[in-house]
């Protein structure tokens, strides 16, 4: 059995680690709340855009746009992978990375040229480790991605898609489903498969009567032309926000578990330490008693 | 008298959600004033100054395009960016304008990009100048 001194040293080390993980948990909690607020603000915007599209559709407008049309042939695909800049967040980075890599293999097997773009140091490192060099890397998206930053990226994709240099954009990220559930997912953002608010096929025909209470300035078509790219940008922004929120949750959970494990370990070590101390005292007592016995004899 | 509710939303935050007496919107081709009981409309915004008058005081914002929806005395402004006029950086806008003017514009896309930046920075300068008096 280890000496009490050694055990005490280990216990102290675990206590220090516990302090760190606990602090990280608190920081992640604070960041999560902030990220969540931003995600909610973005939702408010998305809902309003959706309502706007619904109003446009109700005016009897044919919802069509080059961004909504699937290409006949897919030759070049951009795969954007969103991971964190930091580790210590459980399986967050590795699960996105694994999914992205799987998708990459699938696309390559189909003979499609893939442009790999990775955001986050962790993902970049993981791909490099597997000898896959990303075509483009970003590390400036922290836990607070701003719309301006995403806008730059989104505009570039739009331009390239319009020019026919890319035929599809897929984003691998961690979807935020609820506070207790996040799942890695690959989503196709270009071409936009559907635009929220547009009437689906089974929606009642009476909705599109061609009568609308709105006056359109300059015209419904021109507004639609502008709404579609905006809706794409917001979708991409939402992906970034989802990833940021999920990362903080993952870190929070991982650090909470680490703190709990540290607690457990401290308990075990304390028990062992007390036992070792007791054994030593007993041993010393026996030695003293033995000595007395020997003198008396 | 009916009052307007003026809501300004960007993807990052809800900038403003308060009543107003009068709203002047920078539409793509000029300014449009909205008073209470305006007929419903959806419009496309340009780069320019959004003026919201309530209680005799005017709030000014620079908005970066987007849309506006007017219905039932609610004015919803959806824009990628809304900056309070006092917080605009006139010098930065001036620099941007000069940089944009020097940009090469040898393809249609580049030309469109340059024109957009020029229009944006000019609008920012205009709004900033207005705010200072």
DSSP E strands in A83-153: the ranges are 113-119, 136-138
Please tell me if residue B110 touches chain A, with a CB cutoff of 8 Å. Answer: no
Half-sphere exposure of A236 (CA within 13 A, CB side): 28
Closest Cα in chain A, distance from residue B118 (Å)? 17
Note the pLDDT tens digit of each residue in A86-131: 989 989 999 999 999 999 999 999 989 999 999 999 999 999 999 9
In chain A, whose CA is at the least distance from the CA of B10?
A45
pLDDT at A201: 44
Residues of chain B with pLDDT > 70, as a percent, come to 98
SS3 call for A147: helix
Residue boundaries of the structural domains of chain B = 4-85, 89-132
H/E segment holding residue B72: none
Contacts with A72 (C-beta within 8 Å, 6 or more apart), sequence order = none
Cα distance from N-terminal residue to C-terminal residue, chain A: 33
Residue B42 — φ and ψ, nearest 5°?
A: -125, 130
pLDDT tier for residue B133 given thresholds of 50, 70 and 90: low
Note the pLDDT tens digit of each residue in A127-186: 999 999 999 999 988 888 889 899 989 989 998 898 888 999 999 999 998 888 999 999
Residue pair A130/A123 in contact by the 8 Å Cβ criterion: no
pLDDT at A202: 40
A37 part of a folded domain: yes
Of the partner residues A147, A214, A226, the one whose CB lies closest to the CB of residue B44 = A226
Residue pair B10/B65 in contact by the 8 Å Cβ criterion: no
pLDDT at A281: 94
ipTM given for this complex: 0.83
Residues of B in contact with A213 (CB under 8 A): 40, 71
B69–A222 CB contact, under 8 Å: no
Reference A161, options A169, A152, A171, A153; nearest CA is A169
In chain B, whose CA is at the least distance from the CA of A55?
B42
What's the rounded mean pLDDT across residues A12-35? Answer: 95
What's the rounded mean pLDDT across residues B14-23? Answer: 90
A147–B67 CB contact, under 8 Å: no
User: Other CB atoms closer than 10 Å to residue A98's CB: what's the count?
Assistant: 14
Please tell me if residue B55 touches chain A, with a CB cutoff of 8 Å. Answer: no
Cα separation values, B79 from A56, A75, A91, A101, Å: 18, 34, 36, 36
Biggest distance spanned by C-alpha atoms of chain B: 55
Q: How far is CA A41 from the centre of its chain?
A: 18
Q: How many residues does chain A have?
A: 297
Peptide bond into A218 cis (omega under 30): yes
SS3 call for B5: strand
Closest Cα in chain A, distance from residue B41 (Å)? 4
H/E segment holding residue A31: helix A4-58
A284 part of a folded domain: no
pLDDT at A292: 92
Cα separation values, A125 from A18, A83, A105, A128, A223, Å: 28, 11, 18, 5, 43
The answer on pLDDT for A203 being more than 80 is no
A213–B80 CB contact, under 8 Å: no
Please tell me if residue B10 touches chain A, with a CB cutoff of 8 Å. Answer: yes
pLDDT at A77: 92
Contacts with A116 (C-beta within 8 Å, 6 or more apart), sequence order = A79, A81, A104, A127, A132, A134, A135, A136
Residues of B in contact with A236 (CB under 8 A): none
pLDDT at A18: 96
pLDDT at A205: 43
The answer on pLDDT for A188 being more than 80 is yes
Domain span holding position A124: 28-200+214-252
A4 part of a folded domain: no
The answer on pLDDT for B130 being more than 70 is yes
Reference A90, options A236, A202, A235, A247; nearest CA is A247
The answer on pLDDT for B120 being more than 60 is yes
- β-bridge pairing B41-54 and B22-27: antiparallel
Q: How many domains is chain A built from?
A: 1
Residues of A in contact with B66 (CB under 8 A): 230
Q: For chain B, what is the radius of gyration of the CA atoms?
A: 16
The answer on pLDDT for B17 being more than 60 is yes
A55 part of a folded domain: yes
CATH number of B4-85: 2.60.15.10
pLDDT at A197: 61
CATH code: domain of residue A126: 3.40.1380.10
A195 part of a folded domain: yes
């Amino acid at each position: 059995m280890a000496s009490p001194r050694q055990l005490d040293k280990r216990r102290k080390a675990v206590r220090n680690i516990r302090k760190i993980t606990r602090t990280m948990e608190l920081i992640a909690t604070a960041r999560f709340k902030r990220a969540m607020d931003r995600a909610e603000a973005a939702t408010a915007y998305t809902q309003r855009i959706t309502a706007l599209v619904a109003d446009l559709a109700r005016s009897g407008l044919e919802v069509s746009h080059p961004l909504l049309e699937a290409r006949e042939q897919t030759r070049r695909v951009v795969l954007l992978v969103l991971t964190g800049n930091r580790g210590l967040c459980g399986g967050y980075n590795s699960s996105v990375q694994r999914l992205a890599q799987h998708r990459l293999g699938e696309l390559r097997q189909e003979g499609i040229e893939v442009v790999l773009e990775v955001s986050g140091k962790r993902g970049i490192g993981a791909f490099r480790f597997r000898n896959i060099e990303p075509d483009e890397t970003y590390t400036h998206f922290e836990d607070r991605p701003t719309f301006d930053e995403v806008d730059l990226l989104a505009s570039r994709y739009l331009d390239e898609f319009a020019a026919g240099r890319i035929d599809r954009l897929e984003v691998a990220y961690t979807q935020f489903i609820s506070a207790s559930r996040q799942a890695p997912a690959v989503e196709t953002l270009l071409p936009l498969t559907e635009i929220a608010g547009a009437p689906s096929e089974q929606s009642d025909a009476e909705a599109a009567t061609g009568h609308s209470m709105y006056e359109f300035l300059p015209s419904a078509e021109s507004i639609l032309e502008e709404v579609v790219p905006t809706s794409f940008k917001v979708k991409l922004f939402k992906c970034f926000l989802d990833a940021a929120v999920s990362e903080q949750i993952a870190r929070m959970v991982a650090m909470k578990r680490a703190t709990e494990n540290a607690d457990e370990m401290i308990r075990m070590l304390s028990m062992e330490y007390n036992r070792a101390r007791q054994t030593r005292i007993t041993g010393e007592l026996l030695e003293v008693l033995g000595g007395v016995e020997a003198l008396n004899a | 008298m009916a009052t307007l509710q003026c809501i300004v939303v960007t993807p990052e935050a809800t900038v403003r959600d308060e009543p107003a007496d009068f709203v002047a919107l920078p539409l793509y081709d000029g300014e449009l004033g909205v008073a209470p009981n305006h007929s419903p409309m959806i419009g496309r915004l340009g780069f320019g100054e959004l003026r919201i008058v309530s209680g005799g005081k005017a709030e000014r914002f620079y908005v970066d395009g987007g849309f506006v929806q007017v219905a039932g005395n609610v004015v919803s402004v959806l824009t990628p960016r809304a900056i309070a006029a006092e917080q605009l950086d006139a010098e930065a806008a001036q620099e941007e304008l000069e940089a944009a003017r020097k940009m090469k514009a040898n393809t249609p896309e580049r030309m469109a990009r340059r024109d957009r930046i020029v229009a944006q920075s000019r609008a920012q300068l205009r709004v900033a100048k207005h705010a200072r008096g």
